[in-house]
Amino acid sequence: MSAQSATEALTPENLIADMAVSAQAAQRDLAAMPSAARANALRLAARHLLDNRNAILEANSRDLAAGRERGLSKAMLDRLMLDDARLKAVSAGVAAVADLPDPVGEIIDESLRPNGLRLSRIRVPIGTIGIIYESRPNVTADAAALCVRSGNAALLRGGSEAVHSNRAILSAFVSGLEEGGVPGTAVQLVPTQDRAAVGAMLTASGLIDMIVPRGGKSLVQRVQADARVPVLAHLDGICHTYIHSAADPGMAKALALNAKLRRTGICGAMETLLIDANFPDAQGLVGALLDQGCELRGDASIQALDDRVIPASANDWDTEYLDAVLSVAVVGGLDDAMAHIARHSSAHTDAIVTSDDGAAEHFLSRVDSAIVMHNASSQFADGGEFGLGAEIGIATGRLHARGPVALEGLTTYKWLVRGTGQARP
């Protein structure tokens, strides 16, 4: 705590300001470290997580006991739970981030002006990233690792149900960073006791450079509504798959089943299936989904195909079920499908299945979602699957970064101008 905050009332705003100012100072040092030194500090952090196994698991069992007492759901308790295997995975994840290529310092482009000025744009860290998340304690280490690798400071605000786990993880992580020469204040936990601290983070313009909410829809909604700091997030993943008239029926069936049912709770899961009126096997496709236990809510044409189809209401076209439920409509053709997507998509991931490459390229160029796919399952919408190594989140906004966001999305750029005394005429 700084001298200032010891004498003034510690409002949430000056708590966050104090933390952010020390984070900014640490970030300047972190950004100036050689890339290999940042990577090495992360490897030490990964090792300290294992070395502090007992303390972390003991802290986690306190959170679990408190959670059981508070009547948390089984699913919540499972998300909260750490064991040997999970802790090893957390540590391995941090070490893997250390091995990722470093975007900082990368030269985006260079030019030589006629007057001899040499210009270059180089990647630099964004600065201080605020991460607001819910029960999973692994986010503490994952998000901190991505921030440190890309030269950013992190202010982490986890859920109150994971408070002891998060503190134990952070303490081990920071001791590793410090052994590696990174100032400990580069990564800080915002106290969970003070609920108003979240509000103070969201409005800390000039102190926090970007907020990443990780959690359910109500968390993201609140962050997007209240933030004055830029937010990197997606609210909904209302992902469409359009089965074109020229789709291979076998591929259409396989992709629809995978896109909907592989894991129903992830943001890349298909929520609406659009079937072309001229696709020859609509009945087989609908039947296969129903046979796998998927509830279908269809328009009149889809209802006519199978008794088990439930009528869709107007709401269904704008609903992210995150469950074995799917809205299904027949569309007149490619333009109809794209019009439906333009109206109802959350701009996360939308796909076409077709053997007609012309139709596919038209769809890829015209559909303006963060991710547009041809002949692939929307469940591939993931930083790991995209080869990014990890992700801080998936963004559906239009600025800065879209789709899976990893290290590059945690950087910005600056212009360097090297002259030999040029004055502007």
Q: Which of residues 222-241 bind a copy of itself (CB under 8 A)?
A: 230
Residue 4 Cα distances to 8, 10, 11, angstroms: 6, 9, 12
CB 331 within 8 A of CB 225: no
Of 255, 244, 252, 273, the C-alpha closest to 360 is 244
Amino acid, res. 240: H
Bridge partners, 97 (sequence order): none
Rounded to an integer, what distance in angstroms lies between the CA atom of residue 420 and that of residue 425?
A: 15
Site membership for a copy of itself, residue 413 (CB under 8 A): yes
DSSP helix/strand/coil, 82: coil
Q: CB of residue 84 vs a copy of itself: minimum separation in angstroms?
A: 25
- 190: tokens are 């915002």
> Which of 309, 402, 405, 406 touches a copy of itself by CB under 8 A?
402
Rounded to an integer, what distance in angstroms lies between the CA atom of residue 381 and that of residue 269?
A: 9
Burial of 265 (0-12, 13-18, 19+ CB in 10 A): exposed
Segment contacting a copy of itself by CB under 8 A, of 27-35, 65-73, 194-202, 292-300: 27-35
> Which of 111, 193, 218, 315 touches a copy of itself by CB under 8 A?
111
Instruction: Identify the H or E element spanning 399.
Output: none
> Which of 163, 372, 405, 406 touches a copy of itself by CB under 8 A?
372
Query: Which is nearer to a copy of itself, 91 or 354 (by Cβ)?
Result: 354
Q: CB of residue 413 vs a copy of itself: minimum separation in angstroms?
A: 6
Query: Which is nearer to a copy of itself, 74 or 424 (by Cβ)?
Result: 424
CB 352 within 8 A of CB 373: yes
> Which of 179, 248, 306, 320 touches a copy of itself by CB under 8 A?
248
CB 138 within 8 A of CB 90: yes
> Which of 37, 117, 219, 325 touches a copy of itself by CB under 8 A?
117
Site membership for a copy of itself, residue 365 (CB under 8 A): yes
Rounded to an integer, what distance in angstroms lies between the CA atom of residue 30 and that of residue 37?
A: 9
CB 91 within 8 A of CB 50: yes
> Which of 377, 393, 405, 406 touches a copy of itself by CB under 8 A?
377
> Which of 75, 89, 300, 417 touches a copy of itself by CB under 8 A?
417
Rounded to an integer, what distance in angstroms lies between the CA atom of residue 169 and that of residue 121?
A: 37
> Which of 44, 124, 177, 309 touches a copy of itself by CB under 8 A?
124
> Which of 62, 68, 88, 113 touches a copy of itself by CB under 8 A?
113
Q: CB of residue 241 vs a copy of itself: minimum separation in angstroms?
A: 12
What is the size of the binding site for a copy of itself (CB under 8 A)? 60
Binding site for a copy of itself (CB under 8 A): 28, 31-32, 111, 113, 117, 119, 124, 126-127, 209-210, 230, 248, 251, 254-255, 257-259, 262, 342, 360, 364-366, 368-377, 379-380, 385-387, 398-400, 402-404, 412-424
